[in-house]
Structure 1
């Protein structure tokens, strides 16, 4: 009985191996077709790509070409939305009062790629803590900023020169 069970497991293992081989061959075929389509899309400059997409009839839904076009559009939309998210952070810690040490007070700038966002500050003393939020537009604020808040914004402005505010940066 045990040899019969071993034979059944052997046949099942062989079947699974053949099935895996079939899936691997299909995946390689799909991948080579996808790689060609990606290469064609990447080689086309973006303005021409948009003109071609309008001039060519829409690819059949579910085809690799139509999926690549859809994914390209979604990727560009995501990049546009990402530029407007608060993703750049700088924190300055300090002692606000001479009576305390440990740099428990802090100012934090949270900005997007355009230098828009907020500066948050917490000033801690022995008796209380005060928090402030100030709006920032293009690395500037209408509210009077403390030196530490300005330092946090300046840190991001210096980092911004090659990346922040650059619409070509991705």
Structure 2
């Protein structure tokens, strides 16, 4: 088998592993309900003064319904993986091309995963570390910390 073909198989396997990991994290979150329990709910906003109910089918009633739907959608989006940062680097002095990388995939709460691939001339190793509130129980490399720090600086809702 040529080294080019082996490299292509390696990249395909890594891609499948990344997808499986992302799906597994989402499944664990859904099963344990950690996304809602791990982050305290935001302080309640003061209730606006009640307004008279609009007649069904009117523009005013439809606008209110759409407003409620938008709020629900915004709340759901906060728990989706939508922030990405990648740091490329040379892990070893005898290789070039910055083939090693660390990739952070997080939601608005700072929950997600950091994936790292360290490539040498002979092989490549891939690591995944769970992230909760921009921190990990596992020790992070400087490159992984850099990817997290990039997202921590840009943290916040993407939709306001």
Shorter-chain TM-score tier: 0.5 to 0.7
Between 1 and 2, higher relative CO (CA 8 Å, sep ≥ 6) is seen in: 2
Superposed displacement of residue 127, structure 1: 2.0
Pairs aligned (count): 116
Structure 2 partner of 1:88: 83
Q: Are residue 52 (structure 1) and residue 47 (structure 2) matched?
A: no
Distance in 1 separating the partners of 2:121 and 2:81: 32
What per-residue deviation string (whole Å, max 9, x for no partner) do you get for residues 24-48 of structure 1?
A: xxxxxxxxxxxxxxxxxxxxx9721
- 1:112 counterpart residue number: 107
Runs of 4+ in 1 over 3 A off after TM superposition: none
- Aligned-residue offset at 1:158: 2.1
Q: Work out the CA distance in 2 between the residues paired with 1:120 and 1:62.
A: 50
SS of residue in 2 equivalent to 1:97: coil
Distance 1:60 1:127 in 2: 71
The whole-number CA distance in structure 1 between the counterparts of 2:154 and 2:68 is: 29
Q: Which residue of 2 aligns with 1:142?
A: 137
C-alpha distance in 2, partners of 1:90/1:72?
Answer: 32
Task: Select the structure that is richer in helix.
Answer: 1
Q: Superposition RMSD on alpha carbons, in Å?
A: 2.2
Instruction: Show CA shifts across 1:77-107 (max 9, x none).
Output: 1111122221111111001112210000100
Structure 1 unaligned runs (5+)? 1-44
State the distance in 2 between where 1:117 and 1:129 align.
Answer: 23
Residues 91-131 of structure 1, C-alpha deviations (whole Å, 9 max, x = no match): 11001112210000100111111111111111111222221
Q: Distance in 1 between matches of 2:154 and 2:140?
A: 20
Long gaps (5+) in structure 2: 1-44
Take 1:61 and 1:133, find their aligned partners in 2: how far apart are those partners?
51
The structure that has the greater radius of gyration is 1
Structure 2 Cα separation of the partners of residues 115 and 100 of structure 1 = 33
Shift of 1:69: 0.9
Cα separation, 1, equivalents of 2:61 and 2:123: 60
